[in-house]
Structures are given as C-alpha cells and as structure tokens.
Structure 1
Amino acid sequence: MGTTVSPFTPATRRHPPRLLPGLALAVLSCLIACTALAAPAAGATRVKDLGKLQGWRDNALVGWGIVTGLAGTGDSPGNAATRQALANVFSQFNLAIPAAQIQSRNVAVVMIAASLPPFSREGDTLDITVTSAGDARSLLGGSLLLAPLKAADGHTYALAEGPLSVGGYRYDANGNVVQKNHPTVGSVPGGAKVEKGLQSAVLAEDGRLTFVLANPDYTTAARIASAINAQPGLGSARARDAEAIDIEVPADQRAQPVGFIARIEGLLVEPDGHARVVINERTGTVVAGGEVRISPVAVSQGDLRISIATVNSVSQPGAAWGAAAGGRTALVANSTVDVNEQAGGAFLPPGSSTVADLVQSLARLKTNTRDVISILRAIKAAGALHADLIVQ
C-alpha cells in the first residue's frame, strides 16, 4: 500500500525564500542610494535660477520725440529745440511754418528709453519710459507722437507712441505751487512695437554652450559641471572658472538645442556662496545667512547713562549784610551729576555657533537692533566673525 503525502505536511510546505545576509545588505544599499537620488537636497536650486546662457541679454533702445496735448505745462516758447522739432513735424504735412513763429506751451521735447529683450519678434510690445528734455513743468495728460527707437548700432528696432501715464502732478497759480512726485517723467505700458526682430546666438560655432553664473563661485560652478556630466545624453561640461561653465552639445542635438537646454535648466544643484552679513545702519536692518559661523567669543553689553541737572537759585543778603555793608543779591547755580550704569548682558556663544544663534541670544537679553549692529561690528573687528561684513 502506497503512502500518500499531504501537500500540507511539513515535508512539502513551501517557505518564502530567504535572502543571504550579503545580498540583503546590497539590496538595502541600492534602495537607499535610489532614494537619495530621487529626493533632492534641501537647498537644491534649479540651474536656470543660478544664471543664464551667454548671449542672453537685454539691449537698450533710445530715441527722442514730442509730447503734445499738455495744458500749458510744456516747454517755454524760448526753447529752440521744441520749436524746431514742431516745425519739422508740420513740414511732413505740407505746413511750412517757420520755427520762430511757433509759440506753444502745450508741447514738450522728451527722451524715450526702452529695453529690447532677447528673442524679440516683430509685433512684440515694449514698455517705454518718457522723460522731459526741456523746461516743461509737467507731462500730465500728454500723448507721445510716433517716434523711432534706436540701438547702439544706429538701427531702428521699435516705434513708440501713445498716451502717457504720469504718477504725479504739478499745478501753479499766482506764485503758489502744488506738486506730487515727479510729473516730468512718465511711462507708456506697451507703448512701443518691435519692428525688427532680434535673435540671440547662444550656441557657438563649435557646438558649445556657455552657462554664466549670476554670483560667481568656484564650488557652485564645479557642482553644476558635475551634475551635467552625471546625466546621460547631456554631453560633457567643464567649469572654465568661477563664473562660466562650458557645455559641449552632442552633434545630434545641435540642430534643435531647445530640448537640450531645457534639460540642463531643470537640473537641481545646491549652490554655495560667500558668507556675508549685510547691515543697514539707516534702517537698523541686519541680514545674514543662517550658517554664518562665529568663533567662541565673549560679548558683554552694558548701558551707561549720565544725567546732569542744574537748579538756579537766588541768594539774598541778610540784614547784617545790607546795602551799607556792600551786600547784594547773587544768582547761584546748583548742579547735580547722576551716573547710572545698568547691568549689561553677557553672552558666551559655544563653539561653531552661528549669527542666528547670536541674534537669538541677544534677543533674549532684549538688545535693540542698534546694539546688535555694534556687537556684530565689534565681533568682526575681533576676528571672530567668519563672513564679509557689508555696511550700507
């Protein structure tokens, strides 16, 4: 008779496979590494927020024009530039009026400024700033006539016109003047239209890009180059110096570099920088990074107050010292000097403390901002503050 073995007997029961200790440790290490790569650092910043590609820059545009429609607040009739400019405008409409015969205070000669961003196209609009170039008292209510805007190469890139927006006013009558802000400066949002597009070349002839840091730093430049080299398909990068990182674009992506640049801009890098403490004595503002270090140093802050009070009194001569004896009334000044020194706070920061720790400790001692500024300057003079102290 055969023996039947039940599938539930201990001889055939299936147990989950067990990993060897070494294999389990390897899997755990791989999971930790993958998690570290997936989670960005706490201070990680996108590369696009740390700088820009070389060749991306705004271009200044400038021109001059005429503002009309002013309510008697324009240039004076003796302004030769205004009269000549208005005569030139009339001549374009077959109105031959000599400049000497033009007498109007409703017109002002102005200068126009704008900024042409990179990759501008025909038809794009620009904001313009209009400033008085003559002796006009106010540009309120005026409208700018069509005027060309030129770049440094002398070519016209935009045309400006439109009603002015002035954030002030000026009214005067019988010698009385009421003025708010600067009425001789105005703006026209979207007042200029681009007539000639501008294409900025960011890719060099040898197929390289140059990324320029906004705040030059060797450590940040090296980290960006390492982040680019660690990503497959992004070519090779090399930090040229503290400001520029040269990136070699693969040959198959040079025709359409937009996707390549977008991948580089999206990389996360933890920037580094110089330790700085900025102090504004006028407003009593102190701004410092949380990791600015201070060596062990003792700080004692006290308050010495000296008050001097003078009381004037009159001394009258007695009967025995009357006028016959040569006595007379005298003015006597009695002065009192009071010295009051309040108990000052003492602070001894521990080793490797930061400016944030120092400020918190001084706040617990109820130290005002002016005294905090003096203490920080004294610590810097003592060589215990490891940061650049910038006083504004």
Structure 2
Amino acid sequence: MKKFSTLLLAASVIFLTLPTEAARIKDLAKVQGVRSNQLIGYGLVVGLPGTGEKNNAFSEQTFRTMLNNFGIKVPDNLKPKIKDVAPVAVHADLPAFSKPGQTIDVTVSAIGEAKSLRGGTLLQTFLKGVDGRVYALAQGSLVVGGLGAEGADGSKVVINTPTVGRIPNGASVEREVPSSFNNGDTITFNLNRSDFTTAKRMTDVINGLVGADTAQALDATSVQVYAPRDPSQRVSYLATLENLEVDPADESAKVIVNSRTGTIVIGSQVKLKPAAITHGGLTVTISENPQVSQPNAFSNGETAVVPNSSINVQQADSRMFKLDTGNSLDDLVQAVNQVGVAPGDLMAILEALQQAGAIQGELVIL
C-alpha cells in the first residue's frame, strides 16, 4: 500500500509531460461495474383537465385498484368516469452508488388514449429493476413541454409531445444497488471504443506511473489494473488513474455513407490511389399534352381526349478529374467541389472507387 500512496503524489508531474492532444482515461474508458441501472413502473396521473383516459378495461381496473388501496370499494355495477386520469409508464435511470434518500429524475409517458398530461400529478409509483425489486418511489407534479388543442370540428394542433412529461427529482431512492467496486485486488477499465493500440498505450502510461506489471491489457477493450483493497485508498487511487492522459490511437480509415439522409462522412485517415473519374447525369423529362379529337361531320362519332406524350432526354456534360496517390481528405473534398456533384452522385463515385480498389479505407453504407 505504501507503493500506491507514494506514487499517487507524482501524478501531477506526469501530467505536465504529456502532449496537449492527449485525452484523459476517464474520457476514454469506463470502470467495469460502475454503471447506471434502468428502473420502470406503472402508475396513474390524476388532475388532468379532461384530457385523460377514455373508459377502457385496464384503465378502469387500475382506477378501482387504487381506490381499493385507500379502502374505497367501488360497486361492480358502477362505471367510473376517468377522463381526468391517465395510466402511465414511469421510467428512470438509477446512477451508480445511489444511496437511499437521494432523488433522481423520472420520465412519465401515457400508454393509453390520453391526449395530454399537462397539469397532471403522478401518484406514488413503485419503480422496479430487472430483478423485480423496488428501488425507488416516484411521485409529483409533471413538467410537460408539449401542448395540444382540438376544435369542435375535429381540427387540432399539437406542439411537441404533450403525452410525455418529466418530474425533476421526482423519485426517492429506497434501495442501494450492490456494487463490486470494492471487491478483489483489481479494477478494470473498458474502452469506449475498442482499439489494441489505445489499450497498449493506456497500459504503458499506468505502468509508467505506478510501476511495471501494475496494468495489463486483457484485449482490445479491457485494461486490468491492480488496486488497493482499502475503499478510501481505492477511491484516491482511481481518482489519480482516471486523470492520467493517454494518446488515443487514430481511428481506422472509414467512409460512412447514410443512403437515407444523403449524409457522407470521410475520415481523416482515408487515402486514395491514382484514379480518373467522370460522372454524368442523365435527365429524362416526360410531359403530357392531351389533345381533343373532334369527329367528322355526319360521322356519328364522339368527341374524345387523345393523350399526347413528349419525352426529352438530356445528357449533362461530364468532366473528368484525376486523383493522385496519397491524396488527403482536403484534396478529395476540393476535387469533388470542383466537379460540383450532388450527395447522391458522390455516393456513386465513392462506391465505384471502392470497387476499383482506389480507396485505402473501409466504405460503410448505412
């Protein structure tokens, strides 16, 4: 433990020697086991100005159950009007290390035919984890950013989404999620983007501060580091490690093409081999000019409309440009801008370059 305590003091000296383009470990990786947990529940929002649920089976059942919990028995032959009530799904993220008594934000979404949750209040709702246990209780007034209005003739205006709202600090944590953070002799960093080079560099930086064989890269994602068992020392130790700076590896050369939106992203590592490109657009225009045909006199014929179609084909002028070996991203963008092609045409050019083996990188089409 003395080794860890002594070497922690040297961290500030190491930081000064790192390049400015480096990134902190806390920005490149997450500690294994330290994560949030999703919670979900089912509840009722009351106090709506007539924009709640229509009378359907499961909403009525929920309403009756709520009243029964308060000792109010609704006769079976009585059909309650619940237009001011809406059944909702409530969900939240429980951050790591959350303790009982702390509060978290919740999101409330209508799951029936409610038109708006504006002005409503969520009644006490149990929020459960994937294991079925209750970890938080939610209740409070909703903040709804949407707005809806409807006229008598059926016309309506909807702004944003009035059937979804939030309750800031609307849930109280009731149970802590067990964590493995203080267990064992090691902690593991998982890279946000898997890369063997980045994992190796992170290992070298940690070993350079703490000592040889303190950290080891398990694969392209995980770096395992020996750590003290005492919780307070482990927290201080991790606080030092996560602020160490590492030079992340350059991303692999990729060209990302989204065929649905026309978005094209070209990575800075993409290089080109020599290639000559020409691309021309073919425009076909079809116009309809119907004509009226009159029959001859005394022919007993009928006037008819005769279709008359004209087709015009235009071939746009094509200009050829040459791309030299090792052209950078700037050169490619400049060449494409000179030709003046649209995003759809650029997609076709990139695909052709990939098939010709002229792109040194991966073409990814979404």
- When normalised by structure 1's length, the TM-score is 0.76
Q: SS in structure 1 opposite 2:198?
A: helix
Structure 1 residues 152 and 307: alpha-carbon distance in aligned structure 2, compared to 1, 3 A threshold: closer
Alignment counterpart, residue 381 of structure 1, candidates 351, 355, 358? 355
Check whether the contact 1:235–1:250 (CA below 8 A) recurs between aligned residues. no
Residue 31 of structure 1 is matched in structure 2 by: none
Residue 368 of structure 1 is matched in structure 2 by: 342
> In the TM superposition, what whole-angstrom CA distance separates every residue of 1:258-279 from its partner, at most 9, and x where no partner exists?
2211222122222223322212
> In the TM superposition, what whole-angstrom CA distance separates every residue of 1:135-162 from its partner, at most 9, and x where no partner exists?
3232222111111111122222111111
Distance 1:313 1:49 in 2: 71
Check whether the contact 1:168–1:179 (CA below 8 A) recurs between aligned residues. no
Alignment counterpart, residue 190 of structure 1, candidates 136, 153, 169? 169
- Describe how 1:103-252 pairs up with structure 2 within 5 A: 103-180=81-158, 181-205=160-184, 207-232=185-210, 236-249=214-227
> In the TM superposition, what whole-angstrom CA distance separates every residue of 1:186-209 from its partner, at most 9, and x where no partner exists?
22222112122335322442x111
1:72 positional shift: 1.9
Q: SS in structure 2 opposite 1:231?
A: helix
Alignment counterpart, residue 73 of structure 1, candidates 32, 51, 56? 51
The structure that has the greater radius of gyration is 1
Check whether the contact 1:66–1:107 (CA below 8 A) recurs between aligned residues. yes
Distance 1:138 1:99 in 2: 29
Distance 1:309 1:192 in 2: 64
1:171 positional shift: 3.6
1:214 positional shift: 1.3
Structure 1 residues 178 and 308: alpha-carbon distance in aligned structure 2, compared to 1, 3 A threshold: closer
Distance 1:151 1:84 in 2: 24
Check whether the contact 1:234–1:249 (CA below 8 A) recurs between aligned residues. no
Q: SS in structure 2 opposite 1:302?
A: coil
Structure 1 residues 182 and 343: alpha-carbon distance in aligned structure 2, compared to 1, 3 A threshold: same
Check whether the contact 1:139–1:185 (CA below 8 A) recurs between aligned residues. yes
Alignment counterpart, residue 277 of structure 1, candidates 238, 243, 255? 255
Give the aligned length: 343
- Higher relative CO (Cα under 8 Å, sequence separation at least 6) belongs to 2
Check whether the contact 1:159–1:192 (CA below 8 A) recurs between aligned residues. yes
Distance 1:175 1:332 in 2: 43
% identity of equivalent residues: 38
1:210 positional shift: 0.9
Q: SS in structure 1 opposite 2:319?
A: strand
Structure 1 residues 39 and 339: alpha-carbon distance in aligned structure 2, compared to 1, 3 A threshold: same
Q: SS in structure 2 opposite 1:256?
A: helix
1:240 positional shift: 0.8
- Describe how 1:10-25 pairs up with structure 2 within 5 A: none
Distance 1:133 1:226 in 2: 52
Check whether the contact 1:60–1:116 (CA below 8 A) recurs between aligned residues. yes
Check whether the contact 2:253–2:268 (CA below 8 A) recurs between aligned residues. no
> In the TM superposition, what whole-angstrom CA distance separates every residue of 1:331-362 from its partner, at most 9, and x where no partner exists?
99999876654442322222122344211221
1:282 positional shift: 3.4
1:220 positional shift: 1.4
Q: SS in structure 1 opposite 2:109?
A: strand
Distance 1:333 1:110 in 2: 58
Q: SS in structure 2 opposite 1:287?
A: strand
Structure 1 residues 47 and 309: alpha-carbon distance in aligned structure 2, compared to 1, 3 A threshold: same
1:85 is aligned with what amino acid?
T
Distance 1:308 1:172 in 2: 43
Distance 2:239 2:77 in 1: 61
1:156 is aligned with what amino acid?
V
For the pair 1:267 / 2:241, whether they are aligned, the reply is no
Residue 85 of structure 1 is matched in structure 2 by: 62
1:41 positional shift: 5.7
Check whether the contact 1:130–1:187 (CA below 8 A) recurs between aligned residues. yes
Unaligned ranges ≥5, structure 1: 1-33, 315-321, 324-330
1:91 is aligned with what amino acid?
N
2:325 is aligned with what amino acid?
G
Q: SS in structure 1 opposite 2:360?
A: coil
1:266 is aligned with what amino acid?
N
Q: SS in structure 2 opposite 1:279?
A: strand
Q: SS in structure 2 opposite 1:220?
A: helix
1:184 positional shift: 2.5
Distance 2:172 2:24 in 1: 33
Residue 359 of structure 1 is matched in structure 2 by: 333
Structure 1 residues 68 and 386: alpha-carbon distance in aligned structure 2, compared to 1, 3 A threshold: same
1:96 positional shift: 2.8
Distance 1:95 1:333 in 2: 75
1:360 is aligned with what amino acid?
Q
Q: SS in structure 2 opposite 1:138?
A: coil
Distance 2:217 2:64 in 1: 59
For the pair 1:53 / 2:31, whether they are aligned, the reply is yes
